[in-house]
Amino acid sequence: MQLEAKEKNISSSNGPGEVKTRRYTFAEPPNQVKLGSGKVLGPIAIAYETYGNLNKKKDNAILILHALSGDSHAAGWHKGDDKPGWWHSMIGPGKAFDTDRHYIICSNVLGGCMGTTGPSSKDPHTGKPYALDFPIITIGDMVDVQKLLIDSLGIKKLLSVAGGSMGGMQVLQWAASYPEKILSAIPIATGLKHSPQQIAFNEVGRQAIMADPGWNNGDYYGAGQPERGLALARMIGHITYMSDESMEAKFSRRLKNGNYNFSFNPDFEVEGYLHYKGDGFVKRFDANSYLYITKAIDYFDLSGDEDLIPSGKRIDAKFLVISFKSDWLYPPYQSREIVKLLKKRQIDTTYCEIDSSYGHDAFLIEIEEQEHLVKHFLRKVYESGSEA
Amino acid sequence: MQLEAKEKNISSSNGPGEVKTRRYTFAEPPNQVKLGSGKVLGPIAIAYETYGNLNKKKDNAILILHALSGDSHAAGWHKGDDKPGWWHSMIGPGKAFDTDRHYIICSNVLGGCMGTTGPSSKDPHTGKPYALDFPIITIGDMVDVQKLLIDSLGIKKLLSVAGGSMGGMQVLQWAASYPEKILSAIPIATGLKHSPQQIAFNEVGRQAIMADPGWNNGDYYGAGQPERGLALARMIGHITYMSDESMEAKFSRRLKNGNYNFSFNPDFEVEGYLHYKGDGFVKRFDANSYLYITKAIDYFDLSGDEDLIPSGKRIDAKFLVISFKSDWLYPPYQSREIVKLLKKRQIDTTYCEIDSSYGHDAFLIEIEEQEHLVKHFLRKVYESGSEA
């Protein structure tokens, strides 16, 4: 599907690597996309940022894919920000994703709440936010929308697609949906399918939101977020992003006030930290987006024999698969399952399990080893791609 | 502290091992206990069951200690029950805790909601349920109350104290508080202290309850439970009781209705199961008890050098420490920390890590190996106890 893109909004930002924030809306016909559910959605706006410059051959573009609560602001600083983009330490001049050599693109996912169409966007048919009229989406739908963006930028083939967690699922989905469009793929801290334990954690998060009377069956726009429910969902999530070991190192049993409260107020630093994280999340993330995106994650399953690489279909992309030892939410064995499937299809695959104590969050923290792996890998990909 | 016990309620039940259910209330002065918080609570009722017979020397008594959501109904069947007591497969004639030889006692914990005084009990000062006027309690308080019961039964020394999870914490607390009163101790699937990750899971459970408007700051008696909040707390808990592996074996990605719903209704069997468990829990467990008991667990910490066995204090009890390989809530390393501490104090300790895939729930499921270990251990304890 080829859509024409209309540039709607350009804002430039301070920071390294010529950070540009853009928002596109696919407004020319066909302005709709067919979803995995069979429903049709449109028009679709896509918010994205770019870092570095697209070369004349347009063969140096890398698409970065964000996780559940991420957005298109992967690197650099926006005015007023107290911290940079979520993968700032990986993207920039001389970094893993080197903006001196590569053109880095990161777009907010479909269903998100940071510029790309999602449940908080205006439904053109009613002029009000979609809320629960927004259709259930899949990781495949997210990737189909990213494909529209890549096409609109005139990029025939991506040098790489890379991301951790849900970002890694999108990486695998790119390989499944558009193998001819990628020269390489870097799935990090992810798996071929969402396991029942992973689904269970998402479901309790959703229940926390939907049990909040403020959620009001999704119809809360204008009235304020279901704050307690959304904060609780985030608190649950955050436990799964850390490890037993990293929590012990960061908090141990230290008390907030030096003594037990002998009440139900948080006693321990770990409790205070989770509350802080939950409260902060409510200010920046839409509760319905949390529901839609977690559901898309739960539906993710490319574990079947014909899913990732259908038999008879050739895929030339090279893979770099990375996992982290202490990640119990997306444990290394799930990455090894990806590697096993790829090797069975004789795909050029590099695998590294990084010895980190940071749990699932490691993909945002363990920069040095990832930088080394990614740089080396991309050089190999670029060189073999130029030869071809 | 020696209290006189007044038998208040006797109901006998069908089932093996002469199950007797009794409820005692300590009504004679002093009818109060001093709590770890410094507050005073009383009078205190204790609900307990017994299986088997106390011998004339009163040296064959074993105290079984229950976990967070357990109660005194450890074995046998009550009329109308659709399942027996929670450790039925471990307690009975010829079983691990052999009612042909031993007298088994199991009491509901202080703060509980199954007969022993807790937040849903009537506050004698107001005639209404305590609700949040109930004081914050500790594992030490639970054990102090159990000690009153044991004294009232005329038992000078327990042949053993045994339990898993929070039951295991009470076992350790017995060793710390009353080492002269126990001949042996069997802590299962537990640790010397609650870790920040364990605290974090308890805190999100509490927040789920307290965020439910039906909780009404604890004052919901007569109006019905905060059902959604309590069910959600239980769902969160239940995830931590199983393992990634056991969830995969039991549910994998099987769908409830064979197809995706493309809605926020539960799609997967694992979701349906958690909802079923949550809804069932609401019918039998008091929300405020959940708050009080999880707080007591979070306060548990006997990891200091002088906590479990103060220096200069002799402890003759033998220990059998059991953990389960796939238990990620109370991982085997925490049991090994107990063993390390005991060995350092030259205490006769047997340790076994059982190779189970059932996660934390294994202490309720892996009967064969536990039976073998416990039987052998108790025989050794009984024989050496008789020699002494």
Q: What is the pLDDT of residues B233-278, one digit of tens each?
A: 999 999 999 999 999 999 999 999 999 999 999 999 999 999 999 9
Distance CA B158, CA B107 (A): 14
How would residue B28 be classed by pLDDT, with cut points 50, 70 and 90? low
Question: What's the confidence (pLDDT) of residue B18?
Answer: 53
How would residue B8 be classed by pLDDT, with cut points 50, 70 and 90? very low
A230 has pLDDT over 80:
yes
Contact with chain A for residue B234, Cβ under 8 A: no
With beta carbons under 8 A apart, name residues in chain A contacting B136: 260, 262-263
Q: Is A360 a catalytic residue?
A: yes
Name which of B136, B208, B244 is nearest A263 (Cβ-Cβ): B136
ipTM exceeding 0.90? yes
With beta carbons under 8 A apart, name residues in chain B contacting A136: 260, 262-263
Q: Is B252 a catalytic residue?
A: no
With beta carbons under 8 A apart, name residues in chain B contacting A247: 195-197, 200
| Residues linked to residue B44 through DSSP beta bridges, in sequence order | B26
Task: Delimit the domains of chain A by residue range.
Answer: 6-193+301-387, 197-297
Residue pLDDT, tens place only, B334-353: 999 999 999 999 999 999 99
How would residue A26 be classed by pLDDT, with cut points 50, 70 and 90? low
**Which has the minimum average pLDDT: A224-228, B113-117, B322-326, B381-385?**
B381-385
User: Within 13 A of B242's CA, how many CA atoms are on the CB side?
Assistant: 22
A8 has pLDDT over 50:
no
In the stretch 174-203 of chain A, residues with CB closer than 8 A to chain B read 193-197, 199-201, 203
Contact with chain B for residue A206, Cβ under 8 A: yes
Contact with chain A for residue B5, Cβ under 8 A: no
Question: What's the confidence (pLDDT) of residue B27?
Answer: 56
> Averaged over A44-64, what is the pLDDT?
95
Distance CA A107, CA A89 (A): 18
Query: B341-348 long-range contacts, Cβ below 8 Å, gap at least 24?
Result: B341/B192, B341/B308, B341/B309, B342/B308, B342/B309, B345/B309, B345/B315, B347/B309, B347/B315, B347/B317, B347/B318, B347/B319, B348/B318, B348/B319
In the stretch 321-360 of chain A, residues with CB closer than 8 A to chain B read 328, 331
Q: Are B191 and B334 in contact (CB under 8 A)?
A: yes
Question: What's the confidence (pLDDT) of residue A386?
Answer: 59
| B248/A193 Cβ within 8 A | no
User: Within 13 A of A285's CA, how many CA atoms are on the CB side?
Assistant: 28
**Which class for A106: exposed (0-12), middle (13-18), buried (19 or more C-beta within 10 A)?**
buried
Q: Are B229 and B250 in contact (CB under 8 A)?
A: no
Name which of A135, A208, A264 is nearest B206 (Cβ-Cβ): A264
Residue pLDDT, tens place only, B221-236: 999 999 999 999 999 9
- CA A88, distance to chain mean position in Å, is 14
Residue pLDDT, tens place only, A317-374: 999 999 999 999 999 999 999 999 999 999 999 999 999 999 999 999 999 999 999 9
What is the pTM assigned to this prediction?
A: 0.95
**Which class for B112: exposed (0-12), middle (13-18), buried (19 or more C-beta within 10 A)?**
buried
Decide the pairing of beta strands B61-65 and B160-164.
Answer: parallel
With beta carbons under 8 A apart, name residues in chain B contacting A135: 262
Question: What's the confidence (pLDDT) of residue A81?
Answer: 84
Q: Are A33 and A144 in contact (CB under 8 A)?
A: yes
> Averaged over B31-54, what is the pLDDT?
93
| Residues linked to residue A184 through DSSP beta bridges, in sequence order | A318
Contact with chain B for residue A242, Cβ under 8 A: yes
Question: What's the confidence (pLDDT) of residue A229?
Answer: 98
* Average of per-residue pLDDT values in chain A: 92
Percentage above 90 pLDDT, chain B: 85
Pick the CATH number of B6-194+302-387 from 3.40.50.1820, 2.60.120.620, 3.30.830.10, 1.10.357.10: 3.40.50.1820
Decide the pairing of beta strands B33-34 and B40-41.
Answer: antiparallel
Q: Is A128 or A2 the better-scoring residue by pLDDT? A: A128
Q: Is B289 a catalytic residue?
A: no
How would residue B105 be classed by pLDDT, with cut points 50, 70 and 90? very high
Q: What is the largest CA-CA distance in chain B?
A: 69
Q: Are A155 and A349 in contact (CB under 8 A)?
A: no
Question: What's the confidence (pLDDT) of residue A20?
Answer: 73
Distance CA B253, CA B250 (A): 10
The domain defined by A197-297 folds into Rna Polymerase Sigma Factor; Chain: A (1.10.1740)
Which of A41, A132, A244 is best to mutate for the B interface (most B CBs within 10 A)?
A: A244
Name which of A199, A212, A274 is nearest B203 (Cβ-Cβ): A274
Distance CA B91, CA B85 (A): 9
With beta carbons under 8 A apart, name residues in chain B contacting A195: 244, 247-248, 253
A50 has pLDDT over 80:
yes
Question: What's the confidence (pLDDT) of residue B24?
Answer: 75
In the stretch 262-291 of chain B, residues with CB closer than 8 A to chain A read 262-264, 266-271, 274, 291
Identify the CATH homologous superfamily for domain A6-193+301-387.
Alpha/Beta hydrolase fold, catalytic domain (3.40.50.1820)
Q: Which residue has the tokens 């479909």?
A: A110
A21 has pLDDT over 80:
no
Distance CA B352, CA B350 (A): 7
Instruction: Calculate the CA dihedral of residues A51, A55, A60, A61 and round it to 10 degrees.
Output: 50
Q: What are the strands, taking DSSP E only, across chain A? A: 6-12, 20-26, 33-34, 40-41, 44-51, 61-65, 91-92, 97-98, 103-107, 160-164, 184-188, 318-324, 349-354
Contact with chain A for residue B204, Cβ under 8 A: yes
* Average of per-residue pLDDT values in chain B: 92
Contacts of A47 (CB under 8 A, 6+ apart): A21, A22, A23, A24, A71, A72, A107, A108, A114, A115, A116
A22 has pLDDT over 90:
no
Query: Count of CB contacts below 8 A, A vs B?
Result: 147
With beta carbons under 8 A apart, name residues in chain B contacting A235: 200, 203-204, 207
With beta carbons under 8 A apart, name residues in chain A contacting B247: 195-197, 200
In the stretch 39-68 of chain B, residues with CB closer than 8 A to chain A read none
How would residue A121 be classed by pLDDT, with cut points 50, 70 and 90? very high
Name which of B193, B206, B211 is nearest A228 (Cβ-Cβ): B211
Distance CA A174, CA A140 (A): 8
Residue pLDDT, tens place only, A150-189: 999 999 999 999 999 999 999 999 999 999 999 999 999 9
A6 has pLDDT over 90:
no
Residue pLDDT, tens place only, A251-299: 999 999 999 999 999 999 999 999 999 999 999 999 999 999 999 999 9
Name the catalytic one among A120, A327, A356, A361.
Answer: A327
Number of other CB atoms surrounding residue A388 within 10 Å = 6
B69 has pLDDT over 70:
yes
Q: How many helices (H) and strands (E) does chain B have?
A: 10, 13
| Residue of chain A whose Cα is closest to the Cα of B217 | A264
Distance CA B327, CA B67 (A): 15
**Tokens linked to A36:** 């995995």
**Which has the minimum average pLDDT: A134-148, B133-147, B306-320?**
B306-320
